[in-house]
Amino acid sequence: MRHFFLYCFLIGLVACVSRENPQPYQISQGETMGTYYRVTYRGTDTFDRQLDSLLIAANEELSTYIPQSVISRFNRLSAGDTLVIDYGEGVDVEVRHLYANLDASTFIHTLTDGAFNPCVMPLVNYWGFGYTGREPVTQVDSVRVDSLLGLVDLSSVKYWNEGRFFFMTKEKPGVELDMSAIAKGYAVDLLAEWLEDNGVGDYLVDIGGEARGLGVNAKGRVWSTGVNTPEEDAALDALFAVIELPDKAVATSGNYRNFYEVDGQKFSHTINPKTGFPERNRLLSVSIVAGDCMTADALATACMVKGMPEALHFIEEQDSVEGYFIFSDDTGNLTPEYSSGFSTYLKSEE
Ligand code: ADP
Ligand code: MG
């Protein structure tokens, strides 16, 4: 009899464990796009190799740090010349990496009234945040900034496809593309959609803090991710807020880490495409929640350019997009403000 009870207890225990967590969680991780990636997903198979090769393939089109990438070849192209990429038989060119980023960039560029502009590359290089090297500008040459501003012109970039061939031209010499503000979000979606296509129903894809989650984590809870405290001297893991991702993506932009200082003036990597200068305003960090990470990523950068309160007003106008903003108030205190639907995603203190 004693054995019978013990037996029942053990069966119950196994049933309980397997109901809560019938399959283990896998982690695939590594480096990409100048940062880390970490993919956590439920299932018995590991997809290290597949996920890594997806990221490599995306970078071979999108990275300005790879001289032979498609974007780098476009950037070196002379005006009037045409870049031709043969993707081979049966490939749907319109869903290829650069094509997809160009389509999304054009859409977000219009939506944000030009605050997001993928043609900022010459200015990003000038200010020392691009592929030509991390050289701080010690003497600002405003005549040069003005002339580079003339190259921030998306209408001079033309791209199209004919069957398996992808074509690109630029109408103005010197126009260059930079997908840094949208490519990480794109890559998050790429991995997330690959996992879904391969039957994974519970995952969190995280590339350098841009994330997308579906289903639940190993504890059976909705995935969550932290918003860092936007202060230069804050600990790298200091969290200001925690955001839940019930089948949603989040992207955060901030100017508190990627900047340099010359004669007390701070220059950061967000470029205002209207002035040609790095944008610094009271807005220190923006987290955007959207259905896809690509949109979230690009909108977060656009919000940094817009500043407060325009960024908040802009996000309120968008359907299915919410934003969490941290800015410094008159006395320099960090103050959060968020769009009306954002509270659903804010994890309450437990
Ligand atoms: P992070 O690279 O830290 O994730 P963002 O997503 O905000 O930050 O992207 C910033 C990068 O995007 C810059 O380093 C620059 O290459 C590019 N960029 C800067 N300003 C703009 C802009 N207004 N529109 C589009 N891209 C931009
Ligand atoms: Mg961005």
Neighbours of 60 (CB within 10 A): 16
State whether the beta carbon of 129 lies less than 6 angstroms from ligand 1.
yes
The CA 275 to ligand 1 mean position distance, Å, reads 15
Other beta carbons within 10 Å of 217: 16
**Which ligand ends up closest to the CA of 288?**
2
- The finding on whether 305 has its CB within 6 A of some atom of ligand 1 is yes
> Ligand nearest 272 Cα, by number?
1
Ligand 1 atom with the shortest distance to the CA of 105: 25
The single residue listed with the structure tokens 């010197």 is 174
State whether the beta carbon of 180 lies less than 6 angstroms from ligand 1.
yes
Is any atom of ligand 1 closer than 6 Å to the C-beta of 286?
no
User: Average pLDDT of 175-193?
Assistant: 98
Per-residue confidence (pLDDT) for residue 165, from 0 to 100: 97
**How far is 254 from 288, CA to CA, in rounded Å?**
12
pLDDT in tens, 73-111: 999 999 999 999 999 999 999 999 999 999 999 999 999
Q: Copy the structure tokens of residue 53.
A: 């090769």
| 15 pLDDT tier (thresholds 50, 70, 90) | very low
Distance between Cα 182 and ligand 2 center (Å): 5
11 vs 179: which has the higher pLDDT = 179
> What is the mean predicted confidence (pLDDT) over 124-146?
96
- For residue 311, the CA-to-ligand 1 centroid distance in Å is 16
pLDDT score of 2: 53
319 falls in which pLDDT band (50, 70, 90)?
very high
Of 250, 199, 185, 192, nearest to 224 by C-alpha is: 250
Q: How far apart are CA 224 and CA 246, in angstroms?
A: 9
Pocket test for ligand 1, best of 32, 72, 125, 178 (most atoms within 8 A of CB): 178
Ligand 1 near 64 CB (within 6 A):
no
Question: Who contacts 58 (Cβ-Cβ below 8 Å, separation ≥6)?
Answer: 97, 183, 186, 187, 190
Residues in the chain, total: 350
Q: Residue 10: pLDDT above 90?
A: no
The preferred substitution site among 120, 132, 268, 303 for testing ligand 1, maximizing ligand atoms within 8 Å of CB, is 120
Residue 311, token pair as written in the block: 């960024």
Q: Which ligand 1 atom is the nearest neighbour of the CA of 208?
A: 4
3-state secondary structure the chain: CHHHHHHHHHHHHHHHHHHHCCCCEEEEEEEECCEEEEEEEECCCCCHHHHHHHHHHHHHHHCCCCCCCHHHHHHHCCCCCEEEEECCCCCCHHHCHHHHHHHHHHHHHHHCCCCCCCCCHHHHHHCCCECCECCCCCCCCHHHHHHHHCCCCHHHEEEEEECCEEEEEECCCCCCCCCCCCHHHHHHHHHHHHHHHCCCCCEEEEECCEEEEECECCCCCECEEEEECCCCCCCCCCEEEEEECCCEEEEEEECCCCEEEECCEEEECCECCCCCCECCCCEEEEEEEECCHHHHHHHHHHHHHHCCCHHHHHHHHCCCCEEEEEEECCCCCEEEEECCCHHHHECCCC
Region of 259 on the Ramachandran plot (φ > 0 left; ψ -120 to 50 alpha; else beta): beta
Instruction: Supply the pLDDT for residue 17.
Output: 47
On the question of a cis peptide bond just before residue 67, with omega within 30 degrees of 0, the verdict is no
Answer yes or no: is the C-beta of 170 below 6 A from any ligand 1 atom: no
Question: CB count, 10 Å around CB of 133?
Answer: 8
Does the beta carbon of 297 lie inside 6 Å of ligand 1? yes
CB of residue 301 inside a 6 A radius of ligand 1? yes
- Residue 117 CB–ligand 1 contact under 6 Å: yes
Query: What is the rounded end-to-end Cα distance, in angstroms, of the chain?
Result: 43
Q: Which residue has the higher pLDDT, 20 or 13?
A: 20
CA of 122 to the centre of ligand 1 (A): 13
Whether 181 lines ligand 1, by a CB cut-off of 6 Å, is: yes
* Strand pairing report for 283-290 and 322-328: antiparallel
Question: Does the pLDDT value for residue 13 go beyond 70?
Answer: no
pLDDT range class, residue 21, cuts 50, 70, 90? low
